[in-house]
Amino acid sequence: MQRICLFPGTFDPVTLGHTDIIDRALHLFDQMVIGVGVNATKVPMFPLEQRIAWMQEIYKDQPKVKVMAYEGLTVKFCQSIGARFILRGVRSFTDFEYEKAIAEVNRMMDPQIETFFLNSSPQVGTLASTLVRDVIRNGGDASKLVPAAVWQGLKKA
């Protein structure tokens, strides 16, 4: 059976923190689906199509990676794509508590789906999309915060 993992998020925008987690986890799974989520409670800075395009560009040479949009329950999306694993990045104790609660509810809904937590690398451990959006909104240099494909796209905008 193929080990398919979902890495869900809004990726608004994609940061080096996101790619750190994906890159370090790739060898653990046969396929990594990056699920670009539509969150009804969030108003994104970047359109869904742009966030998907960035991820596709970043991982265009990585055959294990597939990028897909989804909305609704993450566990339902896992079921629809045959993913038995969810990967979540953890930057802090607060992140862990929040992610642990979500993982426990997901497990109650489908005990076959396991959640893996991967600590952020120290050099990107403080990166959050919220902070990156503030830098971008205020005309700051986000080149050290986002992958090159995202930075190039931001400079064109």
The reply to whether 42 belongs to the active site is: yes
Query: Which one is predicted more confidently, 39 or 147?
Result: 147
On whether 133 is known to bind a ligand per the annotation, the reply is no
DSSP 120: P
Given the structure tokens 């802090």, which residue do they identify?
92
Position 39 scores a pLDDT of 81
Rounded mean pLDDT, 58-72: 97
- Local confidence band at 68 (pLDDT 50, 70, 90 cut-offs): very high
Residue 156 has pLDDT above 90, yes or no: no
On whether 41 is known to bind a ligand per the annotation, the reply is no
Which candidate in 3, 42, 76, 144 is catalytic?
42
The reply to whether 92 belongs to the active site is: no
Which candidate in 24, 91, 100, 107 is catalytic?
91
The reply to whether 27 belongs to the active site is: no
On whether 48 is known to bind a ligand per the annotation, the reply is no
Position 42 scores a pLDDT of 80
CATH top-level class of 4-156: alpha beta
Cis peptide before 47 (omega within 30 of 0): no
Position 143 scores a pLDDT of 95
What is the number of residues in the chain? 157
On whether 90 is known to bind a ligand per the annotation, the reply is yes
All structural domains of the chain with their residue ranges: 4-156
Residue 26 has pLDDT above 80, yes or no: yes
Across the chain, what does the average pLDDT equal? 95
On whether 91 is known to bind a ligand per the annotation, the reply is yes
Neighbours of 100 (CB within 10 A): 14
The answer to whether the CB of 69 falls within 8 A of the CB of 38 is yes
Residue 150 has pLDDT above 90, yes or no: yes
Query: Which one is predicted more confidently, 125 or 5?
Result: 5
